Amino acid sequence: MKEQTESSNLFSKNAQQMTIEEVFAKLNATPAGLTTQQAEERLKQYGLNEITEKKVSPIVKFLGYFWGPIPFMIEAAAILSFINHKLPDFFIILTLLLVNSIVGFWQENKASNAIEMLKQRLAIVSRALRDGKWQEISAKELVPGDVIRVRMGDIVPADIKLIEGDYLTVDESALTGESLPVEKHVNDVCFSGAIVKQGEMNGVVVATGMNTYFGKTAKLVEEAKTDSHFQKAILKIGDFLILGAIGLVMLILFVSLFRHEPFTDTLNFLLVLTVASIPVALPAVLSVTMAVGAIELAKKEAIVSKLVAIEEMASMNVLCSDKTGTITENKLTIGNIEPFDSFKDTDVLLFGAIASRAEDKDPIDDAILNKANQAKEVTDILKNYTVTKFKPFDPVSKRTEATVTDSSGKSFQVAKGAPQVIFSLTKGDKDTETKVNEIVDTFAQKGYRALAIAKTDEKNNWVIVGILALYDPPREDSASTIKTAQSMGVKVKMVTGDHIAIAKETAKTIGLGTNIIAAGDFLDKPDRNATTIVENADGFAQVFPEQKYHIVELLQAKGYFVGMTGDGVNDAPALKKANVGIAVAGATDAAKSAASIVLTKPGLSVIIDAIKQARMIFQRMTNYSIYRIAETIRVLLFITTSIIVFNFYPITALMIVLLALLNDAPIMTIAFDNVKYSNKPEKWNMNNLLAISTMLGIVGVFSSFGVLYIGKEVFHLSTEVLQAFIYLKLSVAGHLTVFVARTKSHFWSIKPAKPLFLAVIITQIIATLIAVYGILFPQPLGWKFAGFIWAYALVMFVITDFLKVWFYKLIDTSNIHFRR
């Protein structure tokens, strides 16, 4: 194994200087490729091919949760409890540490597993020559000696020595930092991770995975370093709670020192209080909520490659959608055929089929070949021609070319492409050009796309054979889906490279609006004017992929959250620039790597499903944030005020630990809660979120003081029983706050999910039993006082819910007046 690895590394470095014959000799391979058996044997010999991150042992990862700033504080509290001979506190605090570790490990593992599953769905597929025929296999199954084909839009899956074809233009910027594309020819080496911008060639795999020239440092797409809106929101929430907690805890410490209370007891209490107050689980819970949501999106045929894209999609208010394959069926069919001069319909189909290649799986090629195969006259004649050279479609030349030899040995060329491009090859006169334009316009008025076919004559001059009409009908659900999107506050703008007449016809059919503008109408204008044009447009025609970037840029400058769909290699910059880059079904590897969401099912309805799901996930994240902030304020402010004003510790450190323990269990289930998606794009409104959280927290503080007063002045409870009394109130009322925080309207408006409801009930039964029978407490509370607490908490829960609804209306009214 060691010799094989060293040989493979050495080979990767020397491949550039070796001839093709030496390459095959060294790998004991042939230009006909490997057999399946040979490939499997080599895969076993070389081991795993994938470039993988260094795996951390689950045990090591789990133990890592025992150490860090927060675990250290819990450990310090446990040590102080042991020193003060408070063994029950010591064991319970250790239990808290263990539970926190399990929860942290479970959350990270769940999120990691979800992301790994989604990555597997996005695995790169390669075309390899196995058993003498071209097959699609996973890129991770490639082995040295495999012959593979790479073409425009592919990410090179391994280091390969090019052995056949005209040229490749590859983008190696992610690997070398070189911004300009590099041209490659036969005998050159293409490195793993490079993106093919133009051309098509075959190559022999010389190194894979960790043995590639760039190895671990190869990245498919450079990740942006800016924080997402989600990360910024988490930081704001965390800062708000941490600063508040530290400030109040320091205040208690100074007051305790001034009163000459035992320092170790005070420190122990404050350490536990700090741990319970700081929302250390906030990022993890929200990440898990997004990870669980990502799995749900995958069921809707939308695979999330970047979790924060879920939040961005919930906020999206403009969707720039491709026409072909997204709004339309992407099932091109041949409509009218217009032959030129002495050529016939069958000639147009014949030469169109010659200039097409089935194995490329190009929609235009497939449409022509399907039509040709239906005509027996064409299929019979087709056998008399042999294609000796084939140039696949190039976005620069905008045509395909084939060199052909007939049965008599004569050679000529055939080309197909855009009519204007094909006409420019010929020596046609003005009348021919007029005829071409008239046919194109006639087709366009019917929503047809024109494709011209040409061949060279005996004098090697190009002549037009004819023009085909290609038609891609709108999907049946496109019109209703666009209407749904608009009702949800998302503006849909169609983006297509087609002629403006075709775009208008399609837009009219699906009810999108006919204000379709050509890219040239705004590209040369100042940004201020261009932004207005782009904002008011219903769609864009004759757009090159590179121009999509500018469309996104202009809309973002106006404050829109932009979604952009794409499928080609040249769409990658726009997909990366957009708030939500969406690679549609059948997209190239380059587009998938740049996008944050990849669709595996064609059509616009998938995107709408993803928006609905993303908004539901956003609702869950918001609900949890409100609950977590309100709960921290409620507990911390109440305890601090009680200590400072009344010189009374309302609960013990052990009770704080129990509160934290029983709080964690149901909160994990919030990722599965029932919510209703909003009919408007979502966004983090931190002022409103903090306002409603603070309101709920302060109501909880007054409610807790009410219990303190009743227990002390009405029931005349002893200190130990009073603390158990208050503990149960904080526990029960705290979990009831979950049901208040999860809706903007009354709590009964949306039924909670069964896992969340059961988790709350079970944990509160445990909390009640602990208090009633005095388990771990100095004095039992008894069922009488426990029943009172439940009744009190339920009454305050209903009152708080009505106050919440009123407060939301007040916030909405204030926002309306502010906007005016």
User: Could you give the CA distance from residue 685 to residue 677 in angstroms, rounded to a whole number?
Assistant: 17
Joined tokens for residue 398: 């905008």
User: Could you give the CA distance from residue 43 to residue 35 in angstroms, rounded to a whole number?
Assistant: 12
- Residue 558 has φ and ψ, to the nearest 5°, of -85, 0
- Of the candidates 238, 185, 202, 258, which has an alpha carbon nearest to the alpha carbon of residue 29? 202
CB 700 within 8 A of CB 638: yes
Joined tokens for residue 181: 């594309």
- DSSP symbols for 124-152: -EEEEEETTEEEEEEGGG--TT-EEEEET
Q: How many residues does the chain have?
A: 820
User: Could you give the CA distance from residue 607 to residue 580 in angstroms, rounded to a whole number?
Assistant: 11
> For tokens 């890129």, what's the residue?
139
pTM metric for this prediction? 0.69
CB 50 within 8 A of CB 140: yes
User: Could you give the CA distance from residue 584 to residue 571 in angstroms, rounded to a whole number?
Assistant: 11
Order of all β-strands in the sheet with 539-541: 302-304, 597-599, 580-583, 562-566, 318-322, 491-495, 539-541, 516-518
CB 455 within 8 A of CB 439: no
- Residue 200 has φ and ψ, to the nearest 5°, of -155, 130
- As a whole number of Å, the CA-based R_g of the chain is 34
Joined tokens for residue 618: 């956003």
Joined tokens for residue 494: 């169609």
pLDDT for the residue numbered 72 = 47
Residues 6+ apart with CB under 8 A from 283: 234, 238
Report DSSP state, residue 670: G
> For tokens 């609905």, what's the residue?
612
- Of the candidates 558, 557, 592, which has an alpha carbon nearest to the alpha carbon of residue 572? 592
- Give average pLDDT by consecutive 10-residue segment, the chain, 820 residues: 45 68 83 84 64 45 44 55 63 62 55 51 74 85 89 85 88 60 86 82 85 52 46 70 76 81 70 63 66 76 76 88 80 86 90 86 83 87 89 78 89 91 84 88 81 90 91 84 91 86 84 86 81 90 81 90 81 85 78 82 82 87 87 87 86 79 72 86 85 93 94 93 94 91 91 90 92 87 94 96 92 56
Of the chain, the end-to-end C-alpha distance in Å amounts to: 73
- Residue 661 has φ and ψ, to the nearest 5°, of -60, -50
CB 782 within 8 A of CB 772: yes
User: Could you give the CA distance from residue 455 to residue 133 in angstroms, rounded to a whole number?
Assistant: 30
User: Could you give the CA distance from residue 140 to residue 594 in angstroms, rounded to a whole number?
Assistant: 20
Tell the burial category of 9 from Cβ atoms under 10 Å away from its Cβ (0-12, 13-18, 19+): middle
Question: Amino acid letter at 682?
Answer: E
Catalytic sites, residue numbers? 322
Residues 6+ apart with CB under 8 A from 469: 334, 335, 336, 337, 338, 443, 446, 448, 449, 450, 451
pLDDT for the residue numbered 65 = 45
Joined tokens for residue 370: 């399907």
Question: CA separation (Å) from 266 to 78, 80, 249?
Answer: 13, 10, 10
